[in-house]
Structure 1
Amino acid sequence: MNVMSWHQAITQCMHAGHAYVIATVVNTQGSTPRDGGSKMVITADQTYDTIGGGRFELLVTQRARELLAAGQGCQRLEPFPLGAQAAQCCGGNLTVMLECIPCRDWQVAVFGAGHVGQALLGILAGLPCQVTVVDSRPELAPESMPPNARMAIDDNPVSALDTLPDNTWVIVLTHDHGLDFSLCCRLLTDYRWSFTGLIGSRTKAERFRARLSREGFSGEAIRRIQCPIGLEGVEGKYPMEVAVSIAAQLQSLYYQRHERPTGVSTTWREIKSVLNGEQME
């Protein structure tokens, strides 16, 4: 067991994008090692906090890892009779809620921590993605970042592209058109991205396409960069309006390419069966 508390572990898992299960004791009968409301967090290779230890906790951990291996979000209510199932002398019964949170493999990199970048970060904080914000200006780093985001301060933001995983969705929103262009050149030189978008007007888009063509990039390659970024139907020039347009486009494209995750929950009939089973023990 890791010394980190269950709530600290949730934050860490969210920040890293790792899958995890929250195990909560929701009901107890008789003599049990922990009371209702006790929690622990289980990942593929770690456990955090405790709901009682012993073989009971081992069984819970094994069941949680079965859910993790399935790779699907779900909520399961399961009984654990300590005497019959866990061979523990206290002999009581516990009901445990297992909430499986799948990993987040949607990687988004936002270059630029200005007004639009900050507004976009606020929206992406509530979406199932991992966010990296890159900027050269440390004074723009927020005092706190959402659990699913990190800030990368780099004097040369272009070099930060080398640290990003393949299939990252890259959004370019910097304060400097020269930097924007350098980022576009590097993005197209080694195109391993799921999506690339550039903020700007239609005039900026035309000028960038012409410059990129003079740099030797083909028309097919240049069209990989979406500029102006954002849904056309979402209008407005305020930072939040622009951010909403960008986020809506990202979400729309993501779910066109990926099946929307659905959770599996314990049915009410199953819940009644579990509780009735405890009462008959």
Structure 2
Amino acid sequence: MSHWAKIRRALDRDGRVAAVTIVEALGSSPREPGARMIVHVDGSFHGTIGGGTLEWQALAEAQAGLHRGVAGWSETSYALGPDLGQCCGGRVIVGFEYFDASRLSEVADYESREAAGGFVTRSQRPAGGTGTLRRAIVAADSLAATPELPPSATLATGSDRQMTERFGAVGRTVLIFGAGHVGRALVLALAPLPFRVLWIDPRPEAFPAHVPGNVTLVRPDDPVAAVAAAAPGALVLVMTHSHALDLALVDAALRRDVFPYVGVIGSATKRARFSKRLAETGHGPEAVAAMVCPIGAGGPVSKLPAAIAASVAVELLVADETASAVSGADGAGAGPADAERPIPTRGGMVRRRA
């Protein structure tokens, strides 16, 4: 269930609910800006801002505010070491937003926008940290270009206390070609992670009856055409029933040179054969080296589909973070170290292109 759907349901049931959000994180912290919890009147909650003492303190503050009938927005700054005894050493600013029945129509509007694909808002945090937070919708698409928000981020703040938030579908697109055992395990492994998955297989009855909410099923007549249609920045996984189709997909993906990760399931022998064929068809050494094969090599040696999927999920998270760091519109946080962050493969440490 989406963020605003949970808030709306809580208002229907209890008449009050609180949303707790990490607004800023300075230094080491358990979670990043945009991490959210929804706290109910009875003390139950959804989500996490990192666990530990910080989370318990935030839960206590949100419950106290709900019982006092607090309205609007408030902020609390926590020094994780001196205030909470946590060893992280950083400081976080946590925002508490309280909703009651008077905001039901606003929440319902946000819920419908989120269900339709998401949206981006910009708001001014009140001076002094207490007051009313008024959101203005700046984009109807949650993945629309907003320079301050990298592709996988949900919140960013400016020096003028302006806050930009993304609601709805968040995350980089992952193309998974093939609905075999590993493909099915990988889809499940990616279900709770910040990715939008396009699961592609032309075979009739290839897909299971039910798939996670972040998955879109694609049954193309020509899977290679899906590579041409994919948005730049997508992560590409190739694991079909056919080695010939695998090669065609990898060839097409490398020729576009817009995907930060192109991985193909297989052995060292398959990698050698593919490398030879790709070179014969005109790919240079750098392009061939960019192919990640075998995938999931940095994890356990187990060949269980779920074990491979767990390893590949880690690779994709690393690839996403690296690509976000080096492709930010303002370049903040990017640099040579980020651009050269290694991703493990069975063939060694392959340095990804920016």
TM-score range, shorter chain: 0.5 to 0.7
SS at match of 1:133: strand
- Counterpart CA distance in 1 for 2:114 and 2:186 is 33
- Counterpart CA distance in 1 for 2:322 and 2:306 is 24
Q: What is the TM-score when the length of structure 1 is the normalising length?
A: 0.62
Task: Give the aligned partner of residue 231 of structure 1.
Answer: 297
- Counterpart CA distance in 1 for 2:108 and 2:154 is 15
User: What 5-or-longer segments of structure 1 have no aligned partner?
Assistant: 1-6, 49-59, 75-98, 260-281
The yes-or-no answer on 1:162 pairing with 2:234 is: no
The yes-or-no answer on 1:245 pairing with 2:311 is: yes
- Counterpart CA distance in 2 for 1:234 and 1:254 is 21
Q: Aligned letter for 1:40?
A: V
Deviations 1:177-228 (A, max 9, x none): 0000111111122221121101100000001101111112111111111111
Q: Pick the structure with greater CA Rg.
A: 1
- Counterpart CA distance in 2 for 1:47 and 1:215 is 45
- Counterpart CA distance in 1 for 2:186 and 2:241 is 15
Task: Give the aligned partner of residue 284 of structure 2.
Answer: 218
Task: Give the aligned partner of residue 195 of structure 1.
Answer: 261
Q: CA deviation at 1:121?
A: 0.1
SS at match of 2:135: helix
- Determine which of 233, 240, 244 is the counterpart of 1:178: 244
Q: Would the alpha carbon gap of residues 47 and 216 (structure 1) be closer, same or farther in structure 2, given more than 3 Å must change?
A: closer
- Counterpart CA distance in 2 for 1:20 and 1:252 is 30
Deviations 1:44-93 (A, max 9, x none): 99488xxxxxxxxxxx9943749x9886647xxxxxxxxxxxxxxxxxxx
Task: Give the aligned partner of residue 209 of structure 1.
Answer: 275
SS at match of 1:162: helix
Task: Give the aligned partner of residue 196 of structure 2.
Answer: 130
SS at match of 2:259: coil
Q: CA deviation at 1:233?
A: 3.5
The aligned length equals 207
Deviations 1:13-52 (A, max 9, x none): x9xxxx99946533697xxx9499999344499488xxxx
The yes-or-no answer on 1:143 pairing with 2:209 is: yes
Greater helix proportion? 1
SS at match of 2:217: strand
Higher relative contact order (CA 8 A, sep 6+): 1
Q: Would the alpha carbon gap of residues 257 and 212 (structure 1) be closer, same or farther in structure 2, given more than 3 Å must change?
A: closer
User: What 5-or-longer segments of structure 2 have no aligned partner?
Assistant: 18-65, 70-99, 116-131, 156-164, 326-354
Q: Aligned letter for 2:253?
A: L
Q: CA deviation at 1:252?
A: 2.5
Task: Give the aligned partner of residue 135 of structure 2.
Answer: 63
**Do the aligned residues in 2 keep the contact of 1:136 with 1:153 (CA within 8 Å)?**
yes
Task: Give the aligned partner of residue 88 of structure 2.
Answer: none
Q: Would the alpha carbon gap of residues 218 and 119 (structure 1) be closer, same or farther in structure 2, given more than 3 Å must change?
A: same
**Do the aligned residues in 2 keep the contact of 1:158 with 1:182 (CA within 8 Å)?**
yes
Greater strand proportion? 2
- Counterpart CA distance in 2 for 1:21 and 1:211 is 51
Q: Aligned letter for 2:242?
A: D
Q: CA deviation at 1:256?
A: 3.8
Q: Would the alpha carbon gap of residues 156 and 47 (structure 1) be closer, same or farther in structure 2, given more than 3 Å must change?
A: closer
- Counterpart CA distance in 2 for 1:107 and 1:47 is 18
Q: Would the alpha carbon gap of residues 229 and 21 (structure 1) be closer, same or farther in structure 2, given more than 3 Å must change?
A: same
**Do the aligned residues in 1 keep the contact of 2:200 with 2:220 (CA within 8 Å)?**
yes
1:251-270 equivalence runs, <5 A? 251-258=317-324
Q: CA deviation at 1:102?
A: 6.2
The yes-or-no answer on 1:108 pairing with 2:174 is: yes
Q: What is the TM-score when the length of structure 2 is the normalising length?
A: 0.50
Q: Aligned letter for 1:141?
A: F
Q: Would the alpha carbon gap of residues 43 and 20 (structure 1) be closer, same or farther in structure 2, given more than 3 Å must change?
A: farther
**Do the aligned residues in 2 keep the contact of 1:112 with 1:174 (CA within 8 Å)?**
yes
Task: Give the aligned partner of residue 90 of structure 1.
Answer: none
Q: Aligned letter for 1:184?
A: V
Deviations 1:95-128 (A, max 9, x none): xxxx974651411100001110000000111101
Q: CA RMSD in A?
A: 3.8
The yes-or-no answer on 1:120 pairing with 2:189 is: no
Identical-pair percentage: 32
- Counterpart CA distance in 1 for 2:136 and 2:7 is 9
